[in-house]
Structure 1
Amino acid sequence: MAKSSADDAELRRACEAAIEGTKQKVVMSIRVAKSRGVWGKSGKMGRQMAKPRVLAVSTKQKTTRTKAFLRVMKYSSGGVLEPAKLYKLKHLSKVEVIANDPSGCTFTLGFDNLRSQSVAPPQWTMRNVDDRNRLLFCILNISKDVLGRLPKVVGIDVVEMALWAKENTGTVTKQRVQHDGLGGPVSAQVDEGELKVTVEKELVSQAEEEDMEALLGTYVMGIGEAEAFSERLKRELLALEAANVHAILESEPLIDQVLQGLEVATICVEDMDEWLCIFNVKLRHMREDIESIEIRNNKLEMQSVNNKALIEELDKLVEQLRVPSDHAACLTGGTFDEAHMTQNIEACEWLTRALQSMEAPNIDSSYANMRSVREKRGELLILRATFVRRASEFLRNYFASLVDFMISDKNYFSQRGQLKRPDHADLRYKCRTYARLLQHLKTLDKNSLGLLRKAYCSSLNLLLRREAREFANELRASTKASRNPTVWLEATTGSNQNTQTDTSAVSDAYAKMLTIFIPLLVDESSFFAHFMCFEVPKLVPPGGSVNGNKGGNYDNDADDDDDDLGIMDIDDNNSSAGMSPADLAALNEALQDLLDGIQEDFYAVVDWAYKIDPLRCISMHGVTERYLSGQKADAAGFVRLLLGDLESRISMQFSRFVDEACHLIERNDRNMRQNGILSYIQRFATLATRMEQYIQGQSRDLVDQAYTKFVSIMFVQLEKIAQTDPKYADIFLLENYAAFQNSLYDLANVVPTLAKFYHQASEAYEQACTRHINMIIYYQFERLFQYARRIEDLMYTITSEEIPFQAGLSKMDLRKTIKYSLSGVDKSISAMYKKLQKNLTSEELLPSLWDKLKKEFLDKYESFVQLVAKIYPNETIPAVAEMRELLASM
C-alpha cells in the first residue's frame, strides 16, 4: 500500500511554517481534493473541478483548556503552502460521507457557526478509505478528548469503523499530540488500549466486544449472511432468557428462609425500642427535677446579692438627697459681701453638683421617678430660684451704686484746665469680686444673666458717656487753634490769602481723643464679654484674683494694663470660635447698649476740627484708618463700628469741603474776564502741597479723589471761559495750562494722580500752542500755503504734469505768489514775532513759543519747496537753507 500523506514529515513541516506565530501545533496534516460537484451523473465533471488542498488539525494550549482547529491550506503560485481557511472544532456538528461516491472517499464537514447555511459545504475527497478513516478518526478522537463531545456521524458503519481501527492500530497512532505545560511538541505512540477506549467507548463495550469475538469464532460464515446470522442470534437470546427465569423459580425456598429471619430480627428491634422509650422518660423526669432545684438555688443567691447591692445604692441615694444645713442657709438667707463670697461660691458649687446628679444620665432612670427623688429635685429647684433671684437683685443694685458713686465725684472727670484720663481700675476690681458668682449663675440659670447684663450696660453707659462728654469739651476748650482764614481756590484778592495758620493742634486733639478712649472702649468691651460669661476662657485661680489684692497695693495712676482682672485676653483665635450664633447676637446687642451714644462726642470733635481747618480731615482720616486696621475682630466689635462711622463722617466732611471749593470755582469764574492766569490755577499747587503734608500714609485714596474732582472742574471751567472769546482762546489756554504745569512740576514727580493730570495739561498746552502758531503763520503767509494746499488737493485726481495747466496754478501764477509772499520775508517774520508777543501776558513763554513757531514755519516751507520742485521742476525759489539762516538770524 502506498505511503499515506499523513505520514509525510515534509508536509507537516510546511504546515507548521505556514502557521508560524499563531502558537498552534499541527497534530495531523493530509492532502485532499476540494470540490463542490455532485457524484453520480456529474461525477467526472466534479473530479475535473477538484482543487488540491491540505487539511491540518492543530491545537493551542491555554492555561486551563486546549483549543482545537481545522485549517485548510492551499498552494500559492510558488508552490508554497499558505493558510486559506480556519475552522474551530468546537463548532463541528456533523461528519457526513457522501453516499453517491462509490469509493466512499468523499465527505463533508458541517459547522454550526457558518453564516450562510444555504451554500453547500465543500466536499473533501481522499486518495483512499484509509486516509479518510485516519483523518476522521483523528478529528473524532480530539473532539472527544478536548471538547468532551462527538459530532454527528452519518454514512459510516460503526462496526466497520471499529474493525478498521483494530486492524490499523499501528498506523493511526503515529500522530503528534500535545503534552505538558511547557507547550513543546513530542511524538508519542498511543497504545492500543487507549485507542480502543477512545473509539469503541461510544460504539461497543469491552464485554460486548469479547462476546462478539467468541460468537464470531464459534460460527464460520461470511459477512454477507447477515440475515441468517441475526435470526440465529435471536433464537439463542430467547433460550438464555428462558433459562434465567427457570433459575429464579428454583431459588424460592431460599428466599422464604431469608424472609423468616428478617421477621424475627424485626420483633427483637421493636422490643428493644420499647425499653429505650421507657428509660428515656425516666431520665427526662430526673433532668427536670435537677433543673428545678438549681433554679431555686440560683434565685435565692441572686436575691441575697441584690438585697446587698440595693442597701448600698439606697445609702448612696439617701446621702445624695441630704441637703447640708450650712449650704441651705447660705443659699436662702446669706449675705453677698466680699467676706462671705467664699461660702456663697461653695454653696453654688454644691447646688450645681446636686442638680446635675439628679439629671440623666447621672441618675438611673428607675430612681428618677421615685417620689423622694422628685420631691428632693423640687426642693433643689426652689433653692436655685431663691438664690438666683437674691444674687441678681444684689448685683443689679451693686452695679448701679458703683456707677452712681463715681458720677457723683467730679474728680473722676476732666475739669477746666485739666484733662482727666478715665480710670476704671477700681471699678473693675470691685466687679471682679463677683466674676465667679456670675459664672455659677450662668450654670444655674442661663436666662438670669439677661437682666444683669442690661443693668450693667445701662449703668456703665452713663459713666462712659459722661467721661467722653467732659473730656471732649475740655479738649476743645484747651486747644488753641484759630480758624484758618485761607479761602482755598476762591477767586478773591486780599493780603490774608497767602497766610497759613498752624492747625496741627486740631488733628492732635482728635488723635488724643482716640488714643484715650479707643483702648478704653476696647478694654470695656473685652471685660464685659468675659465678665458676663460670653463663652470666654477660664478664670484665673481664686488665689490670684478674687481673694488677693483687695485694693491696698493698687495704683490708680499706673500705666499698666487695666484689664488685668483675672480674665484672660481675647484674641482672634478664641474670641468667638466656640460662640453660638445666639450668644454672638446677644453679645452684640449688649455692647450696643453699653457704648451707644458715646459716638456723639467723637462726632462733635470731628465737626469742631472741620470748622477750624477742613484740610485737617485728611490727617484725622489717616489716624482713624490706623486705629481701624489695628482692631481685632473680637468682642470689641462695636468699637470697629464706631471707628467706621468716624471714618465715614470725616470722609463726608472732607467731601463737603471739596464740593464747596468746586462750587466756588464755578461761581467765581462764571463771569470772569478772559485775561491772564486764573486764580485757582495759581492756588491749586499750594492746596495740593498742603494736602500732601496732611497725608499720614493711609489717606491716599481720599486725597486722590479730591485731586480728581478739583482738576476736572478746573479744566472744564478753563475750557468754558476760553470759549467766551474764541479769538484769544488759545493764548488763554496755553498760558493757564503752562502755569498749571509749572506750579505742579515737583508734586507731579511724586504723586501719580497729579502726574496723570500734569500730562493731560501738557497735551492740552501743546494743542493750544499748535493752533495759535498755525494761526499766526497763516495770517502772514496765507496766500503761499493756500497755493500749496490747492496743489495737494489736485494731486489726488490728476497727474503732476497736468497741474501747471490748471486755472490759477500756472507757472506765472506761481511766480506771482512767490513774489507776493516772499518779497520782504524778513518783515513778515518780524510781524509774526510781534503778533506772537502782542497778546501774551506770560513773557517767560515767549522764547519757547517763538522757537516752536520758527520750526513749524520752516517745516511748512520745506514741504512747499519739495512740492514746487515736483510740479514745477524748472522754477527757482528761495532755498530752505536760506530761510533757515534768515530765521536763525532773527
Structure 2
Amino acid sequence: MAKSSADDEELRRACEAAIEGTKQKIVLSMRVAKSRGIWGKSGKLGRNHMAKPRVLALSTKAKGPQTKAFLQVLKYSTGGVLEAVKLYKLKHLSKVEVITNDPSGCTFTLGFDNLRSQSVAPPQWTMRNIDDRNRFLLCILNMCKDLLGRLPKVVGIDVVEMALWAKENTPTVTTRRTVQDGPVHVAAAVIGSDLKVSVEKELVSQAEEEDMEALLGTYVMGISEAEAFSERLKRELLALEAANVHAILESEPLIDEVLQGLDAATSCVEDMDEWLGIFNVKLRHMREDIESIETRNNKLEMQSVNNKALIEELDKLLERMRVPSEYAASLTGGSFDEARMLQNTEACEWLTGALRGLEVPDLDPTYANMRAVKEKRAELEKLKATFVRRASEFLRSYFTSLVDFMISDKSYFSQRGQLKRPDHADLRYKCRTYARLLQHLKSLDKNCLGPLRKAYCSSLNLLLRREAREFANELRAGTKASRNPSAWLEASTGSSQSGNSADTSAVSEAYSKMLTIFIPLLVDESSFFSHFMCFEVPALVPPGGGTNGNKSGSYNDNGSDDDLGIMDIDDNDSKSSKNSADLVALNEALQELLDGIQDDFYAVVDWAYKIDPLRCISMHGITERYLSGQKADAAGFVRMLLGELESRISQQFTRFVDEACHQIERNERNVRQMGVVSYIPRFATLATRMEQYIQGQSRDLIDQAYTKFVSIMFVTLERIAQTDPKYSDIFLLENYAAFQNSLYDLANVVPTLAKFYHQASEAYEQACTRHISMIIYMQFEKLFQFARRIEDLMYTITPEEIPFQLGLSKMDLRKMLKASLSAVDKSIAAMYKKLQKNLTSEELLPSLWEKCKREFLEKYDSFAQLVAKIYPTENITSVEEMRELLATM
C-alpha cells in the first residue's frame, strides 16, 4: 500500500510555513485534486473542468477556553512553494457529500452555509484512494463532534461503514493535550508503523456497539418470523404504555396540589382582568377628550395662520392697487418738456407694471373678479388712455414744429454756388429725447403708433424732398459740360468726329455725388425711423457702417446713428426674429416717408442724358454698385428707388440706341450707294467711347446695344446692296472690310464685337468669291463653259465617248483654245482692269487681285486635268506656264 500524503512530514512543514504567523497548528495535511467539473458516466472529468493540484490542511487555534477549527486550502505557486488561498471555518460546515458519479468514490464536496454565492457549485476534492478519503473525512467529523458538539450532514457514504473502517485501521489510544489554558480530550490515532497521533475518534463507542450486538443477538430469526416479531414488538409497546399510565396515577396528589394552585391563580387573573377593563374604559374616555381638545386647538391655530396670511395678501394687493400721487400727476397733467421726461418715463414704467400686475398671469385668478380689482383696473385704463392721448398730440405737433423750423431756415439747404450736405444730426438728437416715450407708448397701446408714424413721415417727407430738390438744382447748375449731339451715326453730321470728343465726365460725377450724398442718408433715415418708431425688424445697416456701395464713406460718419441707446421694454420683443407683418408696415411707412424724392433723381438722369447720352453707361454702372450694396430687406424703398433709377437709365440708353438705329436705316433710302457707308467708321468711334464709359461694370447693357447696332448695320448693308445687284458684291466686300479694319482692336478685347467681327469676315469672303468668279467667267466664259459641259456628260457616259459628242470634238477643243488662250495675257490684264474699275477702296485691290489669280489658277488646273483625261493627245498651255504668266502680271 502506497504511503499516504497525510504522513508526509515535509508536506506538514510546508503547510506550517505557509500559515506561519496565524497561531494555528496543523492537525492533518493531505494532497488532493480540485475540480469544478461534473463526473460523467465514464468516470472522467470533463474537458473544461480539468483537475488542479491542491493541499487540504486541518488546523486548530486556541482562543481562551475554546479551540477553533479551520480548513486551509493551499496551492503551489511559482517555484513549488505552498501558499494559502482559502480559509474555511469548520463551525460553518453544514454538509459532507461524496460524489456518487465517481466510480472510485474518492471525490467529495464540503458545503459551508456562510458562502456568499450559493448558486456557484462548490469545488470537488478528489483523494488518491478510499483510505485517504476515509481518513480525512473521519478527522473532520471527529473535530466537529469534539470541538463543536455537532456533526454535519453526511451524504453518499454509510457512517457504520466508516466506523468499521476506523476500527480496523485506527487503534485508539487516549491521551491528554493541553491547549493554552484548558485541557481538551482528543482521540489519538496511531496508523501503521509510524504510530503518528491525529485528532480522530470513533463515531460509535464500544459500549454502544456491545448493546447493539446484544439487542441484535436477542432477535435472531429468519424472514418467515417477521409477523411474530411485529406482534411481539406491539405487546411490548402496550406494556410500556401501561407502565407509563401507572406511573402517572401514582403522582395524583402532586397533580391535585398543582390544580389548586392553578385555581387560585385563575381567580387572581380574573380580578386583574376586571380591573384592567375598568381602567381601559376610563383611558378611552380620556383619550377621546384629549383628541377633542387637540382638534379644537388645531382649528384655532389654523384659523390664526390663515387670518395672518390673508392680512398679508390683502396688504400686498392694496399696495399693488395704490396709485402714487406723483405718477398720477405726471400721467394726467404733466409737461412733456425735456427736463420732465425722466419723471414721465418713470410714470410710464410704473403704469405698465401696474397694469401687468393686475392681469391673471401675475395676479392670482381668484382676485381677478374682485370688485376692487375691476375698479382699479378701469382706473388704470383711464389713466393710460389719458396719457396716450396727451403724448400722441404732443409728439405730432412736435414733429411738425421741428420740420417747419428747419424748412424756414434757408441755411439748411443748398444755395447758388454752394452745395449743402443734408445734416439731420440735430433733428435726430431732439427725436431721441422722446424715443423712450415711444417705447412706452407702444407697450401701453400699439394702436397709437400708427398716427404718430404717419405724422412723422408726412413732416419729414417735406424736408427730404426740399433738400433733394435744392441739391439737385444746384448740382446741375454748378456742373459745366459741353453738350454732345445724340445723332452719332447720322450721315449728315459729316465725317469729322471732333465734336464728339468733349469731356462730359462731370455729368457722371454729378450723378455719383447725388447718390453718394442721398442714398446713405435715405438708408440711415429708414433705419432711424424703424428703430425710433418701434418696428420689430432686423437692423437695416451693419453696426458702425453705411452702405457698401458708398466708396467715399457713409453719410453716418459717427457710427451707428440709428442706435437710440435704449433696450426693448417689452420682454416679448425679439430683435433676432423677423416679424413679417411689421416689415410690411415699415415698407409702407417708408414709401410715405420718401415718396416724391425719386423725381429729383430722375431729373438728374434726364439732364445727364441730354448732355451726353453715352453717360447713361457710367450712370448705370454707378447705380449697379449701389444696388448691390443694399442688402437689408427693410430698406425696401431705397432698393426700389435704385431699381427704378437703373430702369430709367436703361430706358434712356435704349432710346439713344433706337434713335441711332433709325439713323442707320435712313441710309437705305439712298438709291445709289458707292464705297463705304458713313455709319461704319462712326460706329467704331461710338464703340470706343462706350468702352471708355463702361468702367468695369456688367456688360449686359453695352452688349445688347452692340447686338442691336450691328444687326441693323448688316441688315441695312444687305438691303442697300440689293438695290443695284450689278455692284452689290463690290459694295458688300468694301463695307465688310471697312467694318473689320475699324473694329480690329476692339474685337480682340470685347467678346461680343469679336463675334460680329468673324461674321463680317465670313460675309467679306463670300462677297469676294462671288465677285472674282464673275470677273473670271466674263473673260474666259467659253473655256469654262466647255469644261462644264464635259463635267456634266461624265455623269452619264464614259470619258472615251465624250470626244465623239456634238460640239466636244478635238476640232471644237482646238477652236475654243485658240479663241480663249491666243491672247491670254491681254485677257488677264482686262480681268485686272475690270477688278480695279468699280473698286473705291484702293487698299483692297492687291489682296483681291491675289485672290483672283489664285482662283483662276485653281479653275484652270481642273480644266487641264479634264483635257488630259478626255483628250490625252492634245497639247494645251500647262498649269506651270500659266502660273508663271500670272506671276508676271
Return the TM-score normalized by structure 2: 0.64
Cα deviation 1:528-556 (Å, max 9, x = unaligned) = 001101125799xxxxxxxxxxxxxxxxx
Matching residue of 2:524:
523
Aligned pairs for 1:148-547 (under 5 A) are: 299-485=299-485, 487-494=487-494, 497-500=497-500, 501-535=502-536
Matching residue of 2:548:
none
Counterpart of 1:384, as a letter, is: K
| Residues 1:717 and 2:723 are matched in the alignment | no
CA contact (8 A) 2:736 2:764 kept: yes
Matching residue of 1:206:
none
Matching residue of 2:872:
873
Matching residue of 2:123:
none
Matching residue of 1:748:
747
> What's the secondary structure of 1:857's corresponding residue?
helix
CA contact (8 A) 2:487 2:663 kept: no
Shift of 1:696: 2.1
CA contact (8 A) 2:614 2:653 kept: yes
Shift of 1:633: 2.0
Shift of 1:558: 9.8
Cα deviation 1:579-621 (Å, max 9, x = unaligned) = 3222111101100010000000110111111111111111011
Matching residue of 1:653:
652
CA contact (8 A) 2:538 2:575 kept: no
Matching residue of 2:815:
816
Matching residue of 1:831:
830
| Residues 1:642 and 2:636 are matched in the alignment | no
Matching residue of 1:698:
697
> What's the secondary structure of 1:597's corresponding residue?
coil
Matching residue of 2:15:
none
Shift of 1:485: 3.5
CA contact (8 A) 2:436 2:566 kept: no
Counterpart of 1:321, as a letter, is: M
Counterpart of 1:369, as a letter, is: N
Counterpart of 2:589, as a letter, is: A
CA contact (8 A) 1:457 1:593 kept: yes
Distance 1:303 1:399 in 2: 61
Shift of 1:635: 2.6
Distance 1:762 1:496 in 2: 27
Shift of 1:306: 2.3
Shift of 1:560: 3.4
Shift of 1:634: 3.7
Distance 2:755 2:618 in 1: 24
Matching residue of 2:603:
604
> What's the secondary structure of 2:775's corresponding residue?
helix
Shift of 1:497: 4.4
Counterpart of 1:563, as a letter, is: D
Distance 2:289 2:637 in 1: 85
Q: Structure 1 residues 785 and 811 mapped into 2: Cα distance closer, same or farther (>3 Å)?
A: same
Counterpart of 2:802, as a letter, is: I
Aligned pairs for 1:94-109 (under 5 A) are: none
CA-atom RMSD in angstroms: 2.7
Distance 1:538 1:740 in 2: 54
Distance 2:856 2:829 in 1: 13
Shift of 1:380: 0.7
Cα deviation 1:325-355 (Å, max 9, x = unaligned) = 1111111111111111111111111111111
> What's the secondary structure of 2:592's corresponding residue?
helix
Cα deviation 1:716-747 (Å, max 9, x = unaligned) = 11100000000000000000000000000000
CA contact (8 A) 2:672 2:724 kept: no
Shift of 1:803: 1.6
CA contact (8 A) 1:800 1:870 kept: yes
> What's the secondary structure of 2:802's corresponding residue?
helix
Distance 2:700 2:865 in 1: 55
Distance 2:567 2:626 in 1: 19
Distance 1:294 1:878 in 2: 153
> What's the secondary structure of 2:499's corresponding residue?
coil
Q: Structure 2: which 5+ runs fail to align?
A: 1-280, 541-554
Distance 2:661 2:354 in 1: 75
Out of 558, 561, 569, the residue aligned to residue 560 of structure 1 is: 558
Distance 2:516 2:640 in 1: 17
Shift of 1:699: 4.2
Matching residue of 2:34:
none
Q: Structure 1 residues 806 and 345 mapped into 2: Cα distance closer, same or farther (>3 Å)?
A: same
Counterpart of 1:506, as a letter, is: V
Cα deviation 1:267-292 (Å, max 9, x = unaligned) = xxxxxxxxxxxxxxx99999999998
Matching residue of 2:766:
767
Shift of 1:787: 1.0
Matching residue of 1:164:
none
Distance 1:484 1:528 in 2: 43
Matching residue of 1:887:
886
Matching residue of 2:188:
none
Counterpart of 1:640, as a letter, is: R
CA contact (8 A) 1:336 1:344 kept: yes
Distance 1:881 1:621 in 2: 63
Counterpart of 1:312, as a letter, is: E
Counterpart of 1:597, as a letter, is: G
Shift of 1:673: 2.1
Distance 1:638 1:290 in 2: 86
Q: Structure 1 residues 317 and 883 mapped into 2: Cα distance closer, same or farther (>3 Å)?
A: same
Counterpart of 1:779, as a letter, is: M
Counterpart of 1:530, as a letter, is: H
Matching residue of 2:674:
675
Shift of 1:709: 0.5
Shift of 1:308: 2.2
Matching residue of 2:109:
none
Distance 1:439 1:498 in 2: 64
Distance 2:538 2:508 in 1: 39
CA contact (8 A) 2:676 2:731 kept: yes
Counterpart of 2:499, as a letter, is: T
Q: Structure 1 residues 815 and 568 mapped into 2: Cα distance closer, same or farther (>3 Å)?
A: farther
CA contact (8 A) 2:538 2:576 kept: no
Q: Structure 1 residues 511 and 742 mapped into 2: Cα distance closer, same or farther (>3 Å)?
A: same
Distance 2:716 2:286 in 1: 126
Q: Structure 1 residues 350 and 760 mapped into 2: Cα distance closer, same or farther (>3 Å)?
A: same
CA contact (8 A) 2:528 2:561 kept: yes
Distance 1:478 1:288 in 2: 112
Q: Structure 1 residues 688 and 568 mapped into 2: Cα distance closer, same or farther (>3 Å)?
A: farther
